[in-house]
Amino acid sequence: MEHTKILQGFCLLFCFLIILNDKAVIGQQNGMVDLTILESAVSKGAVCLDGTPPGYYFDKGHGEGVNNWIIYFLGGGWCYNVTNCLDNTKTNRGSSKFAPKQKIFYGILSNNKTINPDFYNWNRVMVTYCDGSSFTGDVEEVDAATNLYFRGARIFHAMIEHFLAEGMKDAKNAILTGESAGGLPALIHCDRFRALLPNTPRVKCLADGSYFLHRKNNKEMSYMETVNEGLINLHHSAKMLPDSCTSKMKPSLCLFPQYFQDGIKTPIFIVNSMFDTFQINITFPGYFWDLLNNTCPASHVKTLQDFKQEFVSALPKQCNTSSRGMFIDACLFHVHIVRGNIWNALSLYDKTMAKAFSDWYFDRSPVQFIENRDLPLNCYQFPLKTSPCS
C-alpha cells in the first residue's frame, strides 16, 4: 500500500514537473525540430516496448560546429513490471507512435548563440525514450501474451551507430548526455561511447538529474530497491551495467551512480540538485508539496539537512577535477540543462551553469561547484528564489 501511494505521488509530480518545465521556456525563439523514426533499427531488434522503431530529433551542425556532436537522451522513468510497461506502451514512454512530431530545442540544445554560445552550431540530437530501462534492456524473447520488447540497450547502440554513419565518426568534439532516466545511460554507457569514437580528441559525458542517491538502512529506500530489482530482472539489464560495480555488489545497486561512477574512465560532469524533486518525493513523501508551497515544518529541517550531507558525501571525490566536474545546486528541480532560463542563468560562484560546463568541457578551468546551503530553495519562479525553510 505504501509503495502504491509513493508511486501515485511520483506520477502526480512527474506530470507537474512537465507543466512547469513547459512554462519555464516560454519566450525563447527556437526553431521546431522534426521527429525522425529510425526504421533501420527494427532489423537490429532495437525497438520500443511495443515493438515500434525508436525516434530522434536532429538539428544539423553548421560553421565551426559542423564536426561537433551532442547526443541527448530524453528521460521518462522506468517500467519494472509487466503492468506498468504495458501502461507505457499507450504513451510516448513506450511507443514511438505517440512521440511528438516536433520538438523545440532549449538550453544546451538551443540554436540561439546568445543562450547557448558554445554549442548552438553543433550537431544536436535528442533521442526519444521508449524502452523503460534507461537504455539497458536486452531480452531476445518476446512474451507472446504481452508482446512487450525489452531492448533499450539495442536502441542505444542502433542510435549511436546511425550517427557514426551520419558523420559523427569524424567528430572533433562529442558529448553524451541526457536527463533523469535518460541521463543515467550517459554514465552507464559513457566508456562505450568513448570507445566508439577512438579518433575524436575530446569526448565527455554529462548527466542531468540522474545522480539518484541510495540511502543505506533507510526504510524509504525499499521502494527504489524494489523498482531496481524489477527492472534488472525484467529487462535483463545486469550485463549492461559496469563490471567494476557488479563484480562487488548486486546489480540492482549498480543503478545508483555513487556505486559505479568511480570506475568510469571517461570524464563525466554531474548536474543535479542536492534536493532533487524526484528523490525528495520518493524518499520523503509529502515534503515536496510542502516546500513548493513555501511551507517547511520544523520536523523537515533536520531531515533535509541530513539528506544534503548524505548526497554530497556520495558525489565524486573533489580532487580529480579534470575527469570529474559538477554543478550541484539547492533548487527544487529535477532536470536543468534543457530548461532555457536555467541553463544560461542559474549561477553558482558567479558562473552560470552554461559557462561552468563549457569551461570544464573545453579544459578552460576546473569546475566542482556545490551550493553552500543546507536547505532547499524554491526556484520555480526563477529568477525569483524563495527559501521555504528560512
Q: Strand, helix or coil at 159?
A: helix
Our answer to whether residue 276 is catalytic in this structure is yes
User: Among residues 95, 133, 180, 210, which one is catalytic?
Assistant: 180
User: Among residues 138, 191, 276, 329, which one is catalytic?
Assistant: 276
Nearest to 177 by CA among 288, 69, 45, 322: 69
Our answer to whether residue 334 is catalytic in this structure is yes
User: Among residues 236, 300, 334, 336, which one is catalytic?
Assistant: 334
Q: Are 292 and 12 in contact (CB under 8 A)?
A: no
Chain-centre distance for alpha carbon 263: 19
Nearest-10 Cα torsion for 156, 162, 166, 168:
30
3: left (phi over 0), alpha (psi -120 to 50) or beta: alpha
Query: Residue 325: in which H helix or E strand, if any?
Result: strand 324-329
β-strand partners of 26: none
Nearest to 17 by CA among 339, 358, 299: 339
Q: Parallel, antiparallel, or unpaired: how do β-strands 368-370 and 324-329 relate?
A: parallel
Task: Tell me the C-alpha distance between 310 and 213, whole Å.
Answer: 8
- Residue 282 burial (CB count, 10 A): 22
Task: Tell me the C-alpha distance between 310 and 338, whole Å.
Answer: 27
Chain-centre distance for alpha carbon 168: 22
Task: Tell me the C-alpha distance between 213 and 217, whole Å.
Answer: 13
Catalytic residue positions, numbered: 180, 276, 334
